[in-house]
Amino acid sequence: MIIKPDKEASLTLGLRALAKRLDRKHLLFDQISKELLQAEAGEYGEKFIMKQLEKLSFVMKIYVLHNITLRYPLSFQIDIVVITPYEVILVECKNIRGNVELKNRPRQMIRTLETGERRIFHHPEVQLEEYVYNLKKFFNQHYIKVPVNGIIVFPFNNVRIDYEDGYFPVLTARELISFLQQRPIKEKCIDAYAISRFLVAHLQSYEVYPLCRYYGIEIEAIQPGVFCPRCQCGQMQWIKRKWICTSCLHTDQKAHLLALQDYGMLIDKNITNKQAQHFLQLSNRHVIKRLLTTSAYYKVGATKQRKYQILL
């Protein structure tokens, strides 16, 4: 059973907004674009793994949680958690292509593309070790005795894996179902459902907003305006109570909501009327006030210095 289904991570949403609005000449633009591609590839791989686990949940009593964050003993985020009748298994997903070597001395992941380009990454089991340790500590804090193990999964077959035996099994997604079905049956069972609900009850949000502060990007480098949700390239203007795209002439009464979400993810969760005028490129403060107050934004502070809290 999928207890916490997959959904797009907040960091991916923020990176997409940042790549769209960041000045193309900015020193960090190439880095942000690369990180966005990596985040999207990672999520695509996780979704594929979740589909495999969903198939398995019809024939095996398992509970699956995707993209969970806990705060003890340190803040850590786990790609996928599978809870079986006998153990908790952490799945570290690595969506990477090319020839991959997993080395133990020192522990490194070396990726070589067909072009001959080589790049060295952290070995995934180093991070997975930390996650397993932290989750065990978390359970111990709450007097829960449960085995915690981990596996490293490459979701697709566009990778050739050469690895030296390590602490955790290394699989492709197609092997995942048979791997879980063949796990040894233990005498002592655990209450898998209760543990899944316990984890859900203790989930924390993974907060990186605002991204300008996170990456040290000056606000002036962020392009303001309401972007057209249809053509993604045209700027929209507010004319006769609706937004009209200057490129494709698409009309939309609520296009400002997406722009305000971008502001919240990139700059600040709170926005004043004056700030909204600049970011939405609309100088009529009365219209801005109406757009903010009718868009389910909370009011914060006195009238003169009033801010509106953006819901993300």
Two structure tokens written together for 187: 């005498």
Do residues 250 and 237 lie in contact, with contact meaning Cβ atoms separated by under 8 Å?
A: no
pLDDT at 28: 97
3 state DSSP class of 293: helix
Which residue in 97, 111, 109, 17 sits closest to 312, CA to CA? 17
Q: Which of 250, 168, 199 is nearest to 81 (CA)?
A: 199
Quick: pLDDT tens for 163-208.
Answer: 888 899 999 998 999 999 999 888 889 999 999 999 999 988 777 8
Report the SS3 class of residue 275: helix
Determine the Cα–Cα distance for residues 202 and 178; give it in Å rounded to an integer: 30
The reported pTM is: 0.84
- In this prediction, residue 165 carries a pLDDT of 86
* Cα-based distances in Å from 102 to 94, 109, 114, 154: 12, 5, 18, 12
Query: pLDDT at position 296, please?
Result: 61
Evaluate whether 144 touches 198 at the Cβ level (below 8 Å).
yes
- Main-chain dihedrals φ then ψ at residue 106, nearest 5 degrees: -75, 165
Helix (H, G, I), strand (E, B) or coil at 251: strand
Name all domains of the chain by residue range, CATH numbers in brackets: 2-201 (no CATH), 224-309 (1.10.10)
Query: What is the pLDDT of the chain when averaged over all its residues?
Result: 91
Digit-by-digit pLDDT tens for the chain (312 residues) are 777 766 778 889 999 999 999 999 999 999 999 999 999 999 999 999 999 999 998 889 999 999 888 887 677 889 999 999 999 999 999 998 899 999 988 999 999 998 999 999 999 999 999 999 999 999 999 999 999 999 999 999 888 999 888 899 999 998 999 999 999 888 889 999 999 999 999 988 777 899 999 999 999 999 999 999 998 878 999 999 999 999 999 999 999 999 999 999 999 999 999 999 999 999 999 999 999 988 767 677 766 678 898 887
d(CA 259, CA 225): 7
Would you state the pLDDT for residue 75?
79
Q: What is the pLDDT of residue 6?
A: 66
Q: How is the beta sheet containing 307-309 ordered, strand by strand?
A: 270-272, 307-309, 298-300
